[in-house]
Each structure stands twice: as structure tokens, then as C-alpha cells.
Amino acid sequence: MLGATTLGDLASAIGVRSQEEAAIVAELKAGSESAYAWLIGEFQQPVYGLVYRIINDSADAADTTQDVFLKVFRGMKNFHGESSLKTWIYRIALHEAANHKRWWFRHKARETSIEQDEAERAVPSESAIESALADRADSPFENVAHREVTRRVEEELRNLAEPYRTTLILRDLEDMSYEEIAEVLEISLGTVKSRLTRGREALRQRLTPYVREVGNELGLAAPEDAELGPQVAGGGRKAEVMP
């Protein structure tokens, strides 16, 4: 928060946010329609984006997102502020997405609709990764190259083993703090950091062959294996693939 430059200021800022959230939760528990409208406006798209990255199907992600908010509405009376409202909602979202994936694997793949519905269009055309790679001054070729790299990074991310995949999504795509991730996943800060380190290394290893294969064609620098970290150089500049 701007202006919170001292510990005292920071503590005050946290206190204000806590009071505001407590007031919102009280209104939600009282059944305030305006409070629920705020909740939907604040969390619907982030929750959908999180669920979509786990399920990787727009229609199923939309249905699961609806299930998430039904659980939130029904469970609000049992929310006592042990965690922040955001982390509580994200925890429900991850649980529902995981349940859906288990159901999907039990019943095998269903036919995928070729129609692109409104829910799919709600996903930003540029993900957090693509936004980091893209530059408004890029040429058409560079934009295509960036999109190609983004697709491959997200594909390899989807193939990472759990629990590293979810931890990377929360940190590097959802931009959650270590503390928030620890609350959402109900693990320690040390475990969060360990999973991030191992997950990023696993992703690095998966991406190394791709960078070496298409580096010259797409304008990517292919450093030595031991040096290939969370950044990929492209278009004469370094573009962060994973923070």
C-alpha cells in the first residue's frame, strides 16, 4: 500500500484492510445483495482463471466456478476469519477444481465443444506470462513468437507434477504472496518456498530442449543448462517467463 513505508504505517494499513474485510464479511453473512454483487465482481474472473488453468476446459471451468461460488455463499456463515476472504475462496476453488479433475479421469474425456462461449472469452487473451513477454512495440513476428513461447510454457506448466504445478500457478500466475499460498494450501512457508524452487527447476528442465530447438527461429537466447533460470531472453531483451 502506498505510503506504508514504516512498520507502523504497514501495521495501520493491514489493520484498515482487516476492518474493511470484517465489515464486508458481516454484510455477506447478513445476506446483503450489494455485498454479494461486490464479491462476484471482485473474485469471479480471478477464480475462473485459476480454475481454467487447472481444468484446461472453458465450459468445465465455467461450471466449476459456479460451483465454487455456491460453496462460498452456502459456507459464508461458517467463515470466521481464520484466513483472509481471498485465500478462503481460493482454497474452495482449488478443492472444486481438483474434484472435477478426479471426476474427469474416472469418467474419461468427454467430447469437447468447438464453440467458444462467453466464459472462454472472459479469459484474458494475454495471460500473466504473455503480458510479461509482450511489448506493444513488437513487430507482428515478435508477437507471434511471444504467443508461441507462452503456449509452450503454459503447456509444460500443465504437465508438471503436483503439488509443484499448483504452487507455481498461485505464485507466478496469480501473483499471490508466500503467506497467501501457505494459507490457501495449508502448508508452511518453508514448504511453499521448497515447492517453488523444485517446481521452477522442473519447469526449467522441461523448457530447456524447446529453447534450444527454436531459440534461433524465435529470437530466444539459449543459455547453458545450468544457467537457464526463470528468465528467457527474446527480441533483444529479457522477458520473464516465471518471476
* CA separation for the pair 147, 127 (Å, rounded): 10
* Helix, strand, or coil (residue 58): helix
Q: Residues 67-109: pLDDT tens digits?
A: 999 999 999 988 988 888 999 999 999 999 988 877 655 555 5
- Provide the pLDDT for residue 7: 44
Q: Cβ distance 75 to 89 under 8 Å?
A: no
Q: Residues 10-60: pLDDT tens digits?
A: 344 444 466 788 889 999 999 889 999 999 999 999 999 999 988 888 999
Per the structure block, which three cell numbers stand in for 240? 520473464
**Residue 237's beta-bridge partner residues?**
234
Amino acid 62 reads: A
pTM score above 0.95: no
CB within 8 Å of 26: residues ≥ 6 apart:
none
Which DSSP category does 161 fall into?
A: P
Domain ranges of the chain: 8-108+116-123, 125-243
DSSP 104-115: HHHH-PPPPP--
Locus of grid cell 521448497: 194
Name the CATH architecture for the domain at 125-243. Answer: Orthogonal Bundle (1.10)
Q: What's the distance, CA 150 to chain centroid?
A: 14
**Residue 233's beta-bridge partner residues?**
238
Q: Residues 139-156: pLDDT tens digits?
A: 565 666 667 777 888 888
CATH number attached to the domain at 8-108+116-123: 1.10.1740.10
Q: Cβ distance 49 to 175 under 8 Å?
A: no
